[in-house]
Chains A and B, each alone.
Chain A
Amino acid sequence: MSDHKTMTLKLIVWRQKDANDPGRFETYTAKNITEHHSFLEMLDCVNEELILEGKEPIVFDHDCREGICGMCSQVINGMPHGGQERTTVCQLHMRQFKDGDTIYIEPWRARAFPIVKDLVVDRSALDKIIQAGGYTSCHTGGVADGNAMLIPKPVADESMDAAECIGCGACVAGCPNGAAMLFTGAKVSQLALLPQGKVEAAARVKAMTKAMTDCGFGNCSNHYECQAACPKGVDVKFIARMNREFIKAQFS
């Protein structure tokens, strides 16, 4: 099936044994790579060779490999997920590279995301932000009929634009301040836009932004790197909306 030309690439990969290890870059060669390999399949091939050479393979997070679970998380040539617009690492394909390229591969780097091993980081801080208030406090059962509340299509659509976030943390990795404003803003906005979410909007934005600060995330200074890095193209306008919700909440 592979009647295509193959590529050879030089990989410079961050290796770090555990959270206490200072870490270092190691150089590897990826051979016989075609344009149809995904970036992670390219790394799989490198790992297979490392194992057969008796070396430890590169550890990286991944799971669904179709761009939705948010598990994969690599900074490639300085850009979270590799820089192709609206694309996760697992959906990045090698046709974006050419024979002989040198590729730098690093983990997410942010104060709130300690490195676990190699390219794997601990993103539980994002869960903590959601736990602080990223929900409506409805009970299971005893809710109204789905059509009891009409929601204008543009509102539902905008809420969905925010809800597309996959929680990968690329926005944090891309931000010079290590801020989780896009992540938090997306959830705050998704719910604040909808009538179901308005009831608790003020308490929610206060609790979530507090959790964000407590977890060690930085603040927004309008670089918009988060939107550029976001594999779902979540818009920075949701940060503005969160700020508006936050100010409103001070008076409620």
Chain B
Amino acid sequence: MILDGKCPTGPIEQTWDKHRFDLKLVNPANKRKYNIIVVGTGLAGASAAATLGELGYNVQAFCYQDSPRRAHSIAAQGGINAAKNYPNDGDSIYRLFYDTIKGGDFRSREADVWRLAQVSNNIIDQCVAQGIPFARDYAGYLDNRSFGGAQVSRTFYARGQTGQQLLLGAYSALSRQIHLGTVKMFTRREMLDLVVVDGVAKGITCRNLISGAIESYAADAVCLCTGGYVNVFYLSTNAMGSSVTAIWKAHKKGAFFANPCYTQIHPTCIPQAGEYQSKLTLMSESLRNDGRCWVPKKQEDLGKRPDQIPEEDRDYYLERKYPSFGNLAPRDISSRAAKEQCDDNRGVGPGGRGVYLDLADAIKRLGVDTIRERYGNLIEMYERITGEDAYSTPMRIYPAPHYGMGGLWVDYNMMSNIPGLFVLGEANFSVHGANRLGASALMQGLADGYFIIPNTISGYLATVKPGGTSTDQLEFKQSAEEVQGDINKLLSIKGKRTVTDFMREIGTLMWNNVGMARSEESLQDALSKIPGIREEFWQNVNVPGSGADLNQQLENAGRTVDFMEFAELLCRDALHRKESCGGHFRVEYQYEDGEARRDDENFCYSAAWEYKGDDKFPEMHKEPLEFKNVHLAVRSYK
């Protein structure tokens, strides 16, 4: 099947405005008759729930944490992009649009990206009105900094905690609606199934994580805002609870999963210290504004302290390879460059998997106080974890899984192929193509929630009669029984290996074979091993305790099951895409200098996979990508 993204046509500058006018509206008096479920309360979910509630819909919002304020958007450090052009350095909506298309290696939809760039400016205004204390200059104006993949300063920030401040802004808007009674908040609930009635999304099945009760909720539309899936690599920068579960369950109920192989490996994370490690910690990309990446030129210098290696013996490899973008090369390129240095046996630190990120020049130039003001909290975090002081010695960093550009397939209205199922934020596949630029995830989450879904969801709701669905219906009962059945099965095995042990095994396999570089051989190898791990899991996992109370092992077991199934789809997508683009690097497809070789003739499309049953090969549907405003070109940052 050839998929239709239902993008509006005509001059791109007018597409969103025209489409907004063409969308049907729901009469204000009728809005309260519609129920909308929002799953997840990160930037996309909290902003969507707050805005839909404010418009007058009845909203039910869900999160697995104890408070909606804790979703993992909170951990985003560096900033949020917008095309304000406050610094007068040549920015525009068109440039943000262009940079995002190019940054995504020409694998995203033009109209969606245009819309994102267009509403980016509204986001900043909205956040300021909410009382988010963005960084300001001495004249009282909003301050900007630079991020990877752009030659303009368009990133707004609040110290090193921009995600926190934006999420608390959305959380406060959500709290206001909870207070007003338009949104009912359900915390410590994990969505374990999507309920589809006659081909239309009508509700969800959740587990109450405190009581263990399986609960059903019905609505006229369901919005999944459940984040990304890179915990499939076990160690990543995601939160411990971040999982593919919600979107994977929706996929198994018929929603197409697009481009799962586009995974972002963030270049600047603290290297792994040992086997026992539970997660990797990011050091914001903003550090690359002032930090310089280097490794020793000579292998014999590896044992030396960094300050014993003279300037001429250091290889500032990003500045050498990409003189025009230097240390601000995009994430995929910077990550691969770090890997190359370590593969060349010039990596630093224990295990040789690390490169230096050195602030010494910036400290010399700007003084330690300025650097402390800009990055103090990051440097403090680095000290807590490594015991080292980054003001006096260079940080050691290494790439780590960070973000999934792929996700559930959605059309221009952000509706999946299942009518009534909308997907927002990282959980969908729409705007970042094969690689996301820094400070664009926050922009997308809030664009989707504050400014896009409130318009597009009315276009759908205006075509359906409100109500009419009840959790007494057969489909809800069946779903709840299936969920309970899976839980009982997990608890009954009582084998000899822990859940974490299995997750570590599958994650390590995925990282080694499907991480920063992939080949036909490594992917086939992973595909041959995954079913065996899954099989052993179902025979030998030990999930202690019962299903009738707070049981974190049981929660993790369910997430692990979904990751083990999803891992196979990720591999298949990566195997079929015989080209390199953005975060998907196939070693067979590269130029002589090691840069990614895209194949626009054969792969200029999004691959959306349809689930066909547990042991059946998924079916691929293509959505061709057309570029009318940006010329397809080799992506160069040299």
Q: Which residues of A contact B (CB under 8 A)?
A: 1-3, 17-18, 34-38, 40-41, 44-45, 48, 50-52, 54-57, 59, 61-71, 84, 86-87, 91-93, 95, 116-117, 120, 122-124, 126-127, 130-141, 143-147, 149-153, 156-157, 159-160, 163-164, 166-167, 190-191, 194, 196-197
Name the segment of B273-281, B419-427, B602-610, B611-619 touching the other chain. Answer: B273-281
A18 to B86, CA, bound (A): 54
Which B residue's beta carbon lies closest to that of A86? B380
Closest to B546 in A: A56
Contact partner of A140 (CB less than 8 A), chosen from B84, B168, B239, B450, is: B450
A122-B156 Cα distance, complex, nearest whole Å: 35
Question: A41-B278, A54-B544, A150-B139 are contacts. A130–B126 as well, Cβ < 8 Å?
Answer: no
Does B178 have its Cβ within 8 Å of any Cβ on chain A? yes
Chain A residue at smallest Cβ distance from B169:
A135
Cβ contact within 8 Å between A131 and B178: yes
Is A147's CB under 8 angstroms from B276's CB?
no
Query: Are A63 and B72 closer than 8 Å at their CB atoms?
Result: yes
Q: Are B279 and A196 in touch, CB under 8 angstroms?
A: no
Q: Are the CB atoms of A135 and B72 closer together than 8 Å?
A: no
Chain A residues lying within 8 Å of B239, measured Cβ to Cβ, are 63-65, 69
Instruction: Tell me which residues from 159 to 191 in chain B have a Cβ below 8 Å from any Cβ of chain A.
Output: 159, 161, 163-165, 168, 171-173, 175-176, 178-179, 185, 187
Q: Does B508 contact A (CB under 8 A)?
A: no
Assembled-state Cα–Cα distance A140/B170 (Å) = 10
Contact of A196 with B122 in the complex, beta carbons under 8 Å: no
Return chain A residues, CB-CB under 8 Å to B525: none
Check if B624 is an interface residue, CB within 8 A of chain A.
no
Structural contact, A140 and B158, CB atoms closer than 8 A: no
What does the 1/0 interface line of B441-466 toward A look like (CB < 8 Å)? 00000000011001000000000000
Does B133 reach chain A (CB closer than 8 Å)? yes
B164 contacts A68, CB within 8 Å? yes
Q: Given known contacts A56-B544, A91-B385, A151-B140, is B72 in contact with A1 (CB within 8 Å)?
A: no
Asked if B384 is at the interface of the complex by the 8 Å CB criterion, the answer is yes
User: Are B278 and A91 in contact, with the CB atoms below 8 A?
Assistant: no
* Inter-chain contact B75/A147, CB cutoff 8 Å: no
A160 near B274: Cβ-Cβ < 8 Å: no
Binding site for A on B (CB under 8 A): 47, 50-51, 54, 65-72, 74-75, 84, 86, 122, 124-142, 156, 158-159, 161, 163-165, 168, 171-173, 175-176, 178-179, 185, 187, 210, 237, 239-241, 272-279, 281-282, 350-351, 380-381, 384-385, 387, 450-451, 454, 496, 498, 500-501, 542, 544-545, 549-550, 552-553
Q: Which of A67, A137, A152, A163 contacts B381 (CB 8 A)?
A: A67
Nearest A residue to B139, CB-CB: A150
Please give, as numbers and ranges, the residues of chain A lying within 8 Å of B142 by CB-CB distance.
Answer: 146-147
The distance from the CB of A145 to the nearest CB of chain B, in whole angstroms, is: 6
State whether B176 touches A141 (Cβ < 8 A).
Answer: no
Min Cβ gap B600→A in Å is 38
18 residue pairs A–B, Cβ–Cβ below 8 Å: A1-B274, A36-B273, A64-B74, A65-B278, A92-B384, A93-B387, A117-B549, A124-B67, A126-B67, A131-B179, A135-B173, A138-B173, A140-B173, A143-B126, A143-B128, A152-B136, A153-B137, A196-B129
Structural contact, A18 and B549, CB atoms closer than 8 A: yes
In the assembled complex, the Cα of A157 lies from the Cα of B137 at a distance in Å of 10
Known A52-B542, A64-B239, A120-B550; judge A140-B72 contact (CB<8 A).
no
Q: A18 contacts which chain B residues (CB < 8 A)?
A: 549
Given contacts A67-B384, A146-B125, A163-B133, 10 further A-B contacts (CB under 8 A): A51-B498, A51-B544, A120-B550, A131-B176, A136-B130, A143-B129, A152-B136, A164-B159, A194-B133, A196-B131
With A91-B385, A160-B159 as contacts: A68 and B67 at CB distance below 8 Å: no
B381 x A123 contact (CB < 8 A) = no
Bound Cα distance from A68 to B167, whole angstroms:
12
Give me the 9 closest cross-chain CB pairs, A-B, nearest first: A150-B140, A135-B172, A143-B129, A160-B133, A36-B273, A159-B133, A138-B129, A146-B128, A69-B70
Contact A190 B133 (CB under 8 A): yes
In the complex, the answer to whether A137 meets B176 with C-beta atoms within 8 Å is yes
Q: How distant is the Cα of A3 from the Cα of B125 in the complex, in angstroms?
A: 52
Instruction: Identify which of A48, A127, A133, A137 gathers the most chain B CB atoms within 10 Å of its CB.
Output: A127
- CB-based nearest B residue for A168: B70
